Amino acid sequence: MKQPLIASVLAALLALAGFGSHAAEPIAAQAEQVFRSGFRADNPKYWMTRLDQDEAMRLCSQHKDSPPPKVRAQIEKAQQATIRYPVDGKLIGDWKEGEKLAAVGTGGHIGFIQPDPPGRLRGGNCYACHQLAPKEVAFGTIGPSLRHFGKLRGSGDDVIKYVYDKVYNSNAFTACSNMPRFGLHNWLTPEQITHLVAFLVDPASPVNQD
């Protein structure tokens, strides 16, 4: 009876001493390998580079999307520094263009069966995660509802800048946000982002109408 008890206490002490974490590393490497092997090696290079994590993603993975305050602040500061603005400095565009972009879910699809042809309009696909204008009833709820965004938050310069920055690089505000970083990844141009800002903030936009 005594021997097994001693053995299990010893095992627990070894685990506490960090032997468990040594075992975790090869498992993570194996998982990464399995994940990558799901993609064909002859894929175009720019498809494969999407599998590489940048520093923010790496830190978020390391901390399971919940980094300690210091790391969180470090990520957000670095992401904030990536934000670029339109040359004319105007951060609010045309809500009608923004309305179209918000609803477009195409562009940039990879895969051999039905990849998007080069040059196909890239949309924001905002309804995948947010409620916006009332006429679109099929919306996801991963993100908060943005219905009446401008009505509730106003349309001052600070709000306009916040929305521009958020859409450009969402992780500048929420270190491990799962909202895509549309500007950072050149998914949307700065000009397209200004149209989305108008869609959310302009009092005439359907987002802010009843």
Nearest distance from C-beta of residue 24 to ligand HEC, angstroms: 27
172 binds ligand HEC (CB under 6 A): no
Q: What is the largest CA-CA distance in the chain?
A: 79
Q: How far is CA 50 from CA 33, 36, 45, 165, 191, in A?
A: 15, 11, 9, 22, 24
Nearer to ligand HEC, 20 or 144 (CB): 144
Q: Tell me which residues in 177-206 interact with ligand HEC (CB under 6 A).
A: 177-180, 182, 196, 200
150 binds ligand HEC (CB under 6 A): no
Binding span for ligand HEC by CB under 6 A among 15-23, 40-48, 49-57, 121-129: 121-129
130 binds ligand HEC (CB under 6 A): yes
Nearest distance from C-beta of residue 161 to ligand HEC, angstroms: 12
Nearest distance from C-beta of residue 64 to ligand HEC, angstroms: 15
174 binds ligand HEC (CB under 6 A): yes
Q: What residue ranges bind ligand HEC (CB under 6 A)?
A: 102, 124-126, 128-130, 142-144, 146, 163, 166-167, 170, 174, 177-180, 182, 196, 200
